[in-house]
Structure 1
Amino acid sequence: MFAQEPSVVLLLLLVCPSPTQVMASSLLDMTAWSPGNSSPTAKDCLQVETRAGGLTVHCSGLRLMKVPLGLSNQTVCLFLNKNLLSSLPPNSFSTLLQLHELDLSNNQLSTLEPGCFYGLANSLRLLDLSSNRLSTLDPEVFGGLQVQVNFTHNPWHCDCSMQMSVSLMDLEASSVERVVCQTSDIPNAGTVGLPLVLLVEDWDLCQSVRRTTDVLTLVTMFLWFFMLISYLIYYIRQNEVFANQHFEYIKFLENREPFSPIEFLKNL
Structure 2
Amino acid sequence: MLLLLFLLILPSSVPSSFYGMALQRHGNRVSCINTCQQTKAAGGGLVVRCSGLRLIKVPVGLSNHTIRLFLNKNLLRSLPASAFSDLFLLEELDLSQNQLSSLEAGCFSQVASSLRYLDLSSNQLTTLDPVVFTGLQVQANLTNNPWHCDCSMQMAVPRLDLDRSSVEKVLCQTSDLPNLGAVGLPLVLLVEDWDLCESVRRTTDVVTLVTMFLWFLMLMFYLIYYIRHNEVFARRHLDYLKFLESRDPFRPR
Specify the TM-score bucket, using the shorter chain as the normaliser.
Answer: 0.5 to 0.7
User: Can you give the 5+ residue segments of structure 2 that lack an aligned partner in the other structure?
Assistant: 1-8, 206-253
Q: Which residue among 67, 70, 74 is the counterpart of 2:61? A: 70
Aligned-residue sequence identity (percent) comes to 63
Question: Contact 1:44–1:59 at 8 Å: present in 2 too?
Answer: yes
Aligned residue in 2 for 1:222: none
Change (3 A) 1:40 1:164: farther
Question: Contact 2:83–2:107 at 8 Å: present in 1 too?
Answer: yes
TM-score, normalised relative to structure 2: 0.67
Aligned residue in 2 for 1:122: 113
Once the two structures are TM-superposed, the CA of residue 212 in structure 1 deviates from its matched residue by 9.5
Q: 1:54-103 deviations in whole A, cap 9, x for unaligned?
A: 11100000000000000111110000000000001112112111110000
Change (3 A) 1:164 1:123: farther
Q: Which moved more, 1:92-101 or 1:157-166?
A: 157-166
Partners in 2 of 1:153 and 1:56 — Cα distance? 25
Change (3 A) 1:197 1:61: same
Question: Contact 2:135–2:161 at 8 Å: present in 1 too?
Answer: no
Q: 1:208-264 deviations in whole A, cap 9, x for unaligned?
A: 6788999xxxxxxxxxxxxxxxxxxxxxxxxxxxxxxxxxxxxxxxxxxxxxxxxxx
Change (3 A) 1:144 1:213: farther
Partners in 2 of 1:183 and 1:68 — Cα distance? 33
Partner SS, residue 71 of structure 1: coil
Change (3 A) 1:94 1:208: farther
Aligned residue in 2 for 1:248: none
Aligned residue in 2 for 1:104: 95
| Amino acid aligned to 2:193 | D
Partners in 2 of 1:71 and 1:212 — Cα distance? 49
Change (3 A) 1:136 1:95: same
Aligned length: 195
Change (3 A) 1:39 1:13: closer
Once the two structures are TM-superposed, the CA of residue 163 in structure 1 deviates from its matched residue by 3.1
Q: Confirm whether residue 133 of structure 1 aligns to residue 124 of structure 2.
A: yes
Aligned residue in 2 for 1:235: none
Once the two structures are TM-superposed, the CA of residue 178 in structure 1 deviates from its matched residue by 3.4
Partner SS, residue 183 of structure 1: strand
Once the two structures are TM-superposed, the CA of residue 12 in structure 1 deviates from its matched residue by 8.9
Change (3 A) 1:34 1:94: closer
Once the two structures are TM-superposed, the CA of residue 154 in structure 1 deviates from its matched residue by 0.6
Partner SS, residue 57 of structure 1: strand
Partner SS, residue 139 of structure 1: coil
Partner SS, residue 109 of structure 2: coil
Partners in 1 of 2:96 and 2:117 — Cα distance? 12
| Amino acid aligned to 1:25 | F
Aligned residue in 1 for 2:83: 92
Partner SS, residue 31 of structure 2: coil
Partners in 2 of 1:206 and 1:119 — Cα distance? 33
Q: Confirm whether residue 183 of structure 1 aligns to residue 174 of structure 2.
A: yes
Change (3 A) 1:127 1:172: farther
Change (3 A) 1:194 1:76: same
Once the two structures are TM-superposed, the CA of residue 159 in structure 1 deviates from its matched residue by 2.2
Aligned residue in 2 for 1:251: none
Once the two structures are TM-superposed, the CA of residue 33 in structure 1 deviates from its matched residue by 4.6
RMSD: 3.1
Aligned residue in 2 for 1:61: 52
Question: Contact 1:128–1:149 at 8 Å: present in 2 too?
Answer: yes
Q: Which moved more, 1:203-212 or 1:120-129?
A: 203-212
Change (3 A) 1:66 1:12: closer
Q: Confirm whether residue 142 of structure 1 aligns to residue 104 of structure 2.
A: no
Question: Contact 1:82–1:106 at 8 Å: present in 2 too?
Answer: yes
Q: Confirm whether residue 25 of structure 1 aligns to residue 14 of structure 2.
A: no
